[in-house]
Structure 1
Amino acid sequence: MRVSGERFARGEKTSVIAKDLRVSERSVERWRRAWREGGATALASSGPAKSPKISEAQFAVLEEELGRGPAAHGWEDQRWTLERVKTAIARKFHVTCSISGVWRLLHRHGWSWQSPARRALERDELAVGLWKKDVWPQVEAPRRRSGPTSSSRARPGSR
């Protein structure tokens, strides 16, 4: 913590310390209470607030589980989603994570989102081509064109 017990021992006002450190007075009051109850050691940092919920050893086990595939964990298709990874973590380690926490965990370990390497077997290229040619131009909104009638008129006195 950035405040030492010396400032509390000198009797400095909470508002002065809060202003110097650019924190709320409530934070300084909480630190002062901790200092009174536990001394200077109580002011030591307890680490980052967002410490990982899963250790490196547990993540190695998780990677093995992910490698087994979603079907091994009861899902019918072979897609790992963040929700499914979250469920797998909860089942295996009895730890609850948020979706964003799962994303940060995977990203921190070099994982990224994946897109299929091949097209679906059911894809009908002829139908897709016809749709792009006939339907898409009707669905796509016409683009605005800039020109003399657009809002790019010259301002008075700018010529």
Structure 2
Amino acid sequence: MRYAQGGGLTAERQEFRERLRLQAAERFERGETNAVIAKDLRISVRSVQRWRRAWQQGGPLALNSKGPASRPRLSPAQFRELEAELAKGAAAHGWADQRWTLERIRAVIARRFHMTYTIQGVRKLLRRHGWSCQVSERWATGRETLAEGWIKQAWTQPEPPRRRQALRADDAMEGRELLVE
């Protein structure tokens, strides 16, 4: 079974899923039905059906994880170089302000590594390496913005719900940081 770019699964979770598939293979050999296996292992019947077909064609080895479907295009060393370039700031790369956008990061990757990425590909690359999109709130003229563009920073507070929220007056007074996507 394949998981694209790790499938968003940690190594422990991938091992857990592989153990489930191997448990299912043992139960296939005993002749148990798909519905019973799915109920006991708490997975969908469709997954069990797919696993049974693979098992019938290639035995238990067909259920082993084959790793990510594709390799990341930027190597870890290249991504470290990209992070160093991003740390220099957008102005160092010719833009008027210090805000990093996906389009600008895409341009840096193209210039530095001679690779073309889509906007969504850049977003996935950054998310996979722990970066998050942070959009500044609109403030009255003359006030500073909290954060702009893509930065690598752990937030000190948990994220608010994923819907747009109006900035309340008491939040503005206290200068609370809000993450809005």
Compute the TM-score of the two structures, normalised by the length of structure 1. Answer: 0.51
Structure 2 stretches lacking a partner, 5+ long: 1-17, 144-168, 170-181
Compute the RMSD of aligned alpha carbons. 3.9
Identity value in percent? 53
Shift, 1:47, TM fit: 4.7
Moved more, 3-12 or 27-36: 3-12
Structure 1 residue 80 corresponds to structure 2 residue 100? yes
- 8 Å Cα contact 2:109/2:116 also seen in 1: yes
- 8 Å Cα contact 1:70/1:79 also seen in 2: yes
Structure 1 stretches lacking a partner, 5+ long: 116-121, 125-139, 141-159
**Could you say if the C-alpha distance between residues 35 and 63 of structure 1 is closer, same or farther in structure 2, counting changes exceeding 3 Å?**
same
Between the two proteins, the alignment pairs up a number of residues equal to 115
**Could you say if the C-alpha distance between residues 33 and 87 of structure 1 is closer, same or farther in structure 2, counting changes exceeding 3 Å?**
farther
Deviations 1:110-137 (A, max 9, x none): x896x9xxxxxx959xxxxxxxxxxxxx
Compute the TM-score of the two structures, normalised by the length of structure 2. Answer: 0.46
Partner residue of 1:9 out of 5, 29, 41: 29
Q: How does 1:126-141 map to 2 (within 5 A)?
A: none
Partner of 1:99: 123
Deviations 1:41-79 (A, max 9, x none): 221134579x97754223212113314432454533222
**Could you say if the C-alpha distance between residues 123 and 16 of structure 1 is closer, same or farther in structure 2, counting changes exceeding 3 Å?**
closer
The CA distance in 2 between the partners of 1:39 and 1:94, in whole Å, is 40
- 8 Å Cα contact 2:105/2:122 also seen in 1: no
Structure 1 residue 60 corresponds to structure 2 residue 80? yes
Shift, 1:21, TM fit: 0.8
- 8 Å Cα contact 1:53/1:95 also seen in 2: no
Higher Cα Rg: structure 1 or 2? 1
Bigger relative CO (Cα 8 Å, ≥ 6 apart): 2
Structure 1 residue 45 corresponds to structure 2 residue 69? no
